[in-house]
Amino acid sequence: MATPGPPLWLLAELTYRCPLHCAFCYNPIDFADGKQELSTEEWLRVLREARALGSVQCGFSGGEPMLRADLERLVGEAHRLGYYTNLLTSGVGLDERRMAALRTSGLDHIQLSFQDSTREVNDFLSSTRTFDLKRKVAASIKRHGYPMVLNVVIHRLNIDHVDRIIAMAVELGAEYLELANAQYYAWAHRNREHLLPSREQLQRADAVVEDWRRRSGEAMRIYHVVPDYYEARPKRCMNGWGSVFLTVTPDGTALPCHTARMLPGLAFPNVRDGSLREIWYASEGFNRYRGDGWMKEPCRSCPEKTLDLGGCRCQAYLLAGDPAAADPVCTRSPERARVDAAIERAQQPDDGRPPSQPLVFRTPKASRALA
């Protein structure tokens, strides 16, 4: 296997603590059992080691990264080291004082999440009253001279509001809007029957996005990521396992993607126990699904295997029970029927298909109950 390149994109998941309780959160279901968060000094070491390995972009996320009082210090060090720095936030805790401090620390980019264009749905989906606060934070981001990047996770419960969501983004002066359909891992997988949109909903949303793109031209860039369940081929997840993406979780576990820790039979290293260089190049966790030597049929002999690299390992495990299987999104997968069954269910109207389990919000209590 060729020597992998450097982990260009470092994601520092500073904490799993979060004031919001989104039902589609990609944090692990068992987040409440997390061990002690890395200290400031430990994070500073991670930043230095990753930069020395060749990382160029550093995202600070969570949970809610504003809950870490040392965020400005970490951003300042990342900036000094030469990273391009992003903050991924719900906006809670991002007041004027901290916004100014982050600006001074050299933060390059803020991505603010909304759950919807209406107070009612935004607050329902996050199980908080945060809609008005997010609008204030959006205005503050503009005042401080940042490009306005809004992120809205799209699913069955808000996809019919896409027109209003785009109008809200225009009104807030967004330069970029990410309409990212939920990916069905972690909490979104648990709540999939509530969240997976119908084909008709997706087609309508797509037409709305295209119409806005035509009308707004270059003024605002709209990214629209559709759910891969509706595709015939899987996504090239993380651009390949252990290829460019390195995430460090709040307790220091190093992972090739946000959710890999759930995969069975695979131990992931902790930054407290070794250097990032050893972790990236030599650990079993990062090497297991690199390249294509691990593939089984039908991936092994597939002429498209270099395009999608077998798809997503986490999805293969969640849907087929085997992380080395072909991603069941692929129509060549023997397990594709599982995806089709979920899609078929999503075509039924809500009042014609009482969900078999209630919507579960991401709370520590629910996490402990489900773990």
Residues annotated in the binding site for [4Fe-4S] cluster, as ranges? 18, 22, 25
Residue 312 touches ligand FES, criterion: CB under 6 A = yes
Q: In sequence order, which residues have a C-beta less than 8 Å from that of residue 214 and are 6 or more positions away?
A: none
In whole angstroms, what is the distance from residue 24 CA to residue 360 CA?
9
Strands 149-154 and 9-13 turn out to be unpaired
> Distances in Å between the alpha carbon of 122 and those of 27, 185, 190?
19, 21, 20
Pick from 12, 75, 257, 276 the residue near ligand FES by CB under 6 A.
257
Q: Is 200 exposed, middle or buried (0-12, 13-18, 19+ CB in 10 A)?
A: exposed
Q: Is 95 exposed, middle or buried (0-12, 13-18, 19+ CB in 10 A)?
A: middle
The stretch near ligand FES (CB under 6 A) out of 35-43, 124-132, 169-177, 256-264 is: 256-264
Looking at the Cβ atoms of 116 and 228, the one nearer to ligand FES is 228
DSSP secondary structure code for residue 79 in this structure = H
Residue 254 touches ligand FES, criterion: CB under 6 A = no
Beta bridge partners of 154: 181
Residue 314 touches ligand FES, criterion: CB under 6 A = yes
Least distance in Å: CB of 257 to ligand FES? 3
Residue 309 touches ligand FES, criterion: CB under 6 A = no
The stretch near ligand FES (CB under 6 A) out of 1-9, 137-145, 161-169, 252-260 is: 252-260
The stretch near ligand FES (CB under 6 A) out of 49-57, 215-223, 295-303, 312-320 is: 312-320
Residue 260 touches ligand FES, criterion: CB under 6 A = yes
Count Cβ neighbours within 10 Å for each residue of 166-195 and write b for 16 or more, e otherwise: bebbeebebebbbbbbbbbbbbbbbbbbbb
User: Hey, what amino acid is at 234?
Assistant: P
Three-class SS state of 221: strand
The stretch near ligand FES (CB under 6 A) out of 11-19, 143-151, 294-302, 307-315 is: 307-315
Stretch 160-199 residues interacting with ligand FES (CB under 6 A): 185
For residues 207 to 246, the per-residue mask of contacts with ligand FES, x marking binding by CB under 6 A and - elsewhere, is ------------------------------xx--------
Tell me which residues touch ligand FES (CB under 6 A): 185, 237-238, 257, 259-260, 312-314
